[in-house]
Structures are given as structure tokens and as C-alpha cells.
Amino acid sequence: MKSAWVDRDAQTAVDRYAAAGVARDGFAQDLALRVYTTRLLGQDPKLVLHGGGNTSVKTRVIDLNGDETDVLCVKGSGWDMGTIEPPGLPAVRLDALKRLRERAALTDEDMVRLQRANLIDPAAPNPSVETLLHAFLPHKFVDHTHSTAVLSLTDQPDGEALCADVYGTRMGYLPYIMPGFALAKAAAEAFARDPKVEGLILHRHGIFTFGADARESYERMIEHVTLAEQRLARGRKAVFASAQMPQHVASRTQVAPIIRGACSLRDEKNEGAWKRFIVEFRTNDTILNFVNGAELARYSQAGVVTPDHTIRTKNWPLIVAAPEAGKVGDFKAAVAAAVESFVGKYRAYFAANNARVGGIKKSLDPMPRVVLVPGLGLYGLGRSLKDARVAADLAEAAIETITDAEATGRYQALDDANLFDMEYWSLEQAKLGATAERPLAGQIVAITGAGGTIGAATAKAFAAGGAEVALLDLDEDAAREKAKAIGGSAIGIGCDVTDAGSVCAAFDQVVQAFGGVDIVVSNAGAAWQGRIGEVDEAVLRESFELNFYGHQRVAQAATKIMLAQGTGGCLLFNVSKQAVNPGPNFGPYGLPKAATLLLVRQYALDYGAEGIRANAVNADRIRSGLLNDAFIAERSKARGLSEKDYMSGNLLQREVTAEDVAQAFLAQALALKTTADVTTVDGGNIAAALR
């Protein structure tokens, strides 16, 4: 591992934060360099991942009373080291923290209250759960990471001896102690026994280094991690002899929906509802070597590489059978059995450990967050794509750690009791936040015609509802532009709904991105005009290809995925007012739309038993590609109306917008006991009203 410190960059950080008025004099430099080296550490995935690790600096600030006081600026809850800014290092009165060392005991709740009570800024985030460890050490700068190389040494039966061989007296050593007051006191005592040490090795947890300045503490971290890497490179043995694999494995687009469906939880209180997960796929030679190993059930089930991971990955991954090509049905049955076994194991683990602590805990959901698929790779699961990526990242880091441990010895994690205490620790759970989930969390939505006005508004509405959205459009650039405007994990995909191959390829991309599909809004369409007795047959066929068969191709592709998942789904169609109230010379458009209305009802009839709902929206006079400004001007003039009166020519005398249509689709998606419905969104048109 190489130092990434650059004098010029360090000075730039100091100048930037001073110019921004973050602070003044020495404090500005201390905080700027603390941010600079914290980012260097946080941007290296071999050191820190997703909110893990922490850093601090001891300095002086002017408090709200105008008095200068000694403080500890330490990483705050919710901040990521790779992107941290000064507000992510809340200042806490140092003397008050140091006095706590005199206590014999301190509850977690009192520790948090005391830390908050001594914040310089009362609105600052909660200081790290390891704040006291930083405070009890005398050094100006303290750094803490979960280095994969160091964990590969500590996570072995003889981990302490291995580390002593690597570091000698340059480092202090601590057995595993859960973070908090007890660990802080033990760390201070370890340093007191030998004040010459440059850091501390916390077994099965991570590494601390410290120094008089930011560069010294940072480069000590780099040096000591490098020493661990060098030790791991010596005397390696071959690892993970491969188990027998099928000659050909099923594709990830076949596998992901099966895994996703099997890992979904039925909502017992809300019939028809499911707690679903988004999945993120990873594969490479290292991952395949790991998941294909004959002893996968031993080394993958031993426990997490550091307890900090358990709230995001569970304590062990789910292992499923290798998916043999051509035998997807067998694979689906095997996955269901594997998930049932995993859930049973987790519930037994919870029951035993909850009894140990007096039965005071409430079980988290028992579903896995990492799935290992021999022959293919791994999947991370989460309630959002972001969470799924976190789980997958941590799983990849764990594979690297376990691989190195097995190559130099034998991997050994903490026991279930310690892992349970961390998983169900209130301060650890607080890292996940208490924000209420949005109604479509964990669901995947694909919208066709999403480069247009109605499709884009619909995608935006579903994303706001918490769904992962895929915007499909013939104009791929338009789809991507609209997805970029939505932000987050929204994606744009090119899709020609008149081409079955294009539709299948687009849905494959949706599955590859998110793991499946739960809701489809079939919205792509275009209008052809002409008197029905005179229109050319080619025009009528062209309209049917888009305005009827396009809907059928989309619904058929989506239904195949929904059936593989086994958790129901929702098919939504834009059928238009023309389906029930045709206008003169609009037969080439209205006829396929009327057929699509019957298609909606047929899907509701044929797939209701599988929990797949089919509904439609009947909209009229929406400003869009079909009803553009020129067309509105032409029709208004023909009727002797102003454009405003033309667009609000309905019973309510209100113009209906694309956003109104989007909300109708959203309402249908959330109506779990409604199918074969047609919702009219036109401001009131009796001629177009259904029964």
C-alpha cells in the first residue's frame, strides 16, 4: 500500500477551508488536514467501506460563549470518510471526555448523552461510538480503519501471535472488546503499558494508528497495513479446491429473479404486500474461486470478518446450488429450500441469544443480505440499490479477507454471541437511521415511452415513491436524459416495443441492473389518423404493432419475470380515451387502444391467481408528444376556442397534466386489491366514462 499524501493537495485543503471561513488560525489547519487524510483513508476500499472507520483531531476552538476551549473533533454518525466535510467532524469538549476515564462503568445510553451534552454545536451529528477511545489517547491525530489485510491476520486462531510476529513492540494489542466505554478504557491502558507504540491492533475488529500530526498518523496506517500485506504474501498455500460445477450454468438474468423472489417476505398484516429486495450482482475470478470452493459451507459460514459489517450483511451469507442451464425449475426449488433453511437458522440464532440477554430484543427480518451462487458469483440484497451495493461491496471485501486468511492459515471469526451483541446493539442499529420507508421501497418499475412527457412524469412519481426505476424508450438518449434528471439509481434504456428482441433485451438490462421487475407501466404509443374506410392497411398494421402488440410484448416479458419471482406484480397500461370514446378520423389509433383495453382485462383474468394485477389509465388531452403545441393550436382554432378553454374542456373545467396521469398510475400500483380497473383521468367526460 502506497501513501497518497501530496504536500500540494494538503496545502490546497488548508487554503480552501480557510477561505470558506470554516475556522481560523491553527484550528483551520488542524481541521483541514484532518479532513484531507480522512478522505485519503476513506477512499481506499481496502481500508474503509461505507461509513466504517473513524478519525479524530485534538485542537482548540471558540465556543458559543466566545471562550477558547480544548476539543476533540471526531467523525460523526452518518458521515462517510471518503467524502467527509468539516461538519462531519463534530467538536466535543475534550476535558469532559477525558474525565470519564475515571469512571468504573458507563452505560451506552449515558455515553451518548454525555457526548452530546458536550458538543460545541448542539445541532451537530452524534459523535462516533468510539469517541472515548480517541479521547483517552493523548495523540493529536488518531486514525482507525478496518483494513482487510490486518483482518486477514487477526481473524485466525493464532491471530495474536501472527500480529506480534509482524509488528513486534511497535503496536499494542487488544483482544476483541465490543466498542464503547470498556474498549476505550482497555485501549488507554494498553497504550499506558507502552507509550512508545505507534498504534493498536484490535483483534477481529481493525487497526488504530496515531501521531503528532496528520501525516504521521496517516502514513503510520499505510506502513502498518503494508506490513500486513507483506506477511500475507509470504508462504501462501493454494486455497479453495473447486467443487464439481455444471458444464453450463444458467444466466444471471434467469437466476436473479428467482433469488429475489425467494428472499422476499410476505406481509402478514397487509394481504398482497411483500417486503422485496433489490439485488446487486458481482463476479470476478476471486469471487468465483471462493464460491466454487468445495469447502464453501465451512469458510463462508464462519461469521463476518469484522462485527461492523453484520448490520448490513447478516452474520453469514446464503449459499444456493449451482444453477444448471436448462434446469431452472430445479434451481428455483433448491433456492426456496435453501432460503427456508437460512431463515430457520437465523431464527434459532436469535432465539438462543435473545434468551441469553433476557429476551429484551425484537428480531430483525431473517432474510439474507448476501447470496453466494457457485458457478456464477454473488448477489448483495438491500431495500434499495444503494443498500444492495453496500452489501455486495462488504461481501467482496470479506471474500478478500477470508481468502488471504485461508492462504496463510485458517479463517476464524467471532462467535455468535459477540456477533449478536453487535447486530442488536442499539448504537449500531442507529447507523441505519430511523427514516420511515417510502411505500414502494424494494420495488422495481419499468416504464415504456419514458422519454416522453407522460412516461417521464410517471417515472419521477414512482422514484419519489421509493421505487427503483428503469426508463425505456425508442430514443435511448431521451430515456437517459430523463433518468439523469430523476437522479439516484434511475437508468435509461433503449427499447423498441415493436421488436420482440429489443423488448427482451431491455428487460434483461432491467434485471441485470436491479434483479427483476414488479411494476410495468406500458405507456409507449403514437397516434395515426384517417377515415377508417379509406385508411391504408399498412397504416392500420403499423398502429397495431405499436399500440397493441407493443403492449403485449412488454406485458409478456414482464409477466415471465414476475412468475419467476413468485411475488405477484402489477401491469399498468395507458389505453387513452380513444379506447372507449373514439373520435372521428382517429380509428387507426382508437382500434388498437380498444384492443389493449381488452388485453388488460385478459391479463387480469389469466394471472390474478398468481397475484399479478392488470389495470389501465384512460387519459385525455394531455400535453405530450401526441398532443403538442401545434396540434393544440390547430384543434382550438377549429373549434373556435382559446387554447386554455380547449385544454380545460371538461366537466371540471381544469386542464389535466402528465403529472395527474402519473399519480393515477401510482395509485393503481399501490391498490393491492384492485385489478381489471380502468381509471379515467380527463377532468370529466361522460362520453368516455365507464360503468
Whether 589 sits among the annotated catalytic residues: the reply is yes
Query: What are φ and ψ of residue 412, in 5° steps?
Result: -145, 125
- On the CB side of 145, how many CA atoms lie within 13 Å of its CA? 31
Among residues 255, 284, 256, 244, the alpha carbon closest in space to that of 403 is found at: 284
Residue 202: strand pairing partners = 174, 206
Angstrom distances, CA of residue 89 to CA of 34, 81, 643 = 9, 10, 57
The angle formed by the CA atoms of residues 490, 493 and 498, to the nearest 5 degrees, is 140
> How many other C-beta atoms are found inside a 10 Å radius of the C-beta of residue 62?
14
Return the ∠ at Cα 88 (arms to 83 and 89), rounded to 5°: 120
Measured distance CA(145)–CA(190) in Å, rounded: 18
CA–CA dist 427, 434 (Å, integer):
12
How far is the C-alpha of 449 from the C-alpha of 647, rounded, in Å? 22
The residue type at 187: A
Phi and psi torsions of 360, nearest 5°: -95, -5
Cβ burial of 512 (10 Å; 0-12, 13-18, 19+) is middle
User: Given 36, 589, 603, 607, which residue is catalytic?
Assistant: 589
Cell numbers describing residue 307: 462485527
**Alpha carbon distance 138, 123 (integer Å):** 27
> Residue 347: how many CB atoms within 10 A of its CB?
12
Strand partners, 209: 143, 199
C-alpha–C-alpha distance, residues 617 and 677, integer Å: 8
Residues taking part in catalysis: 589
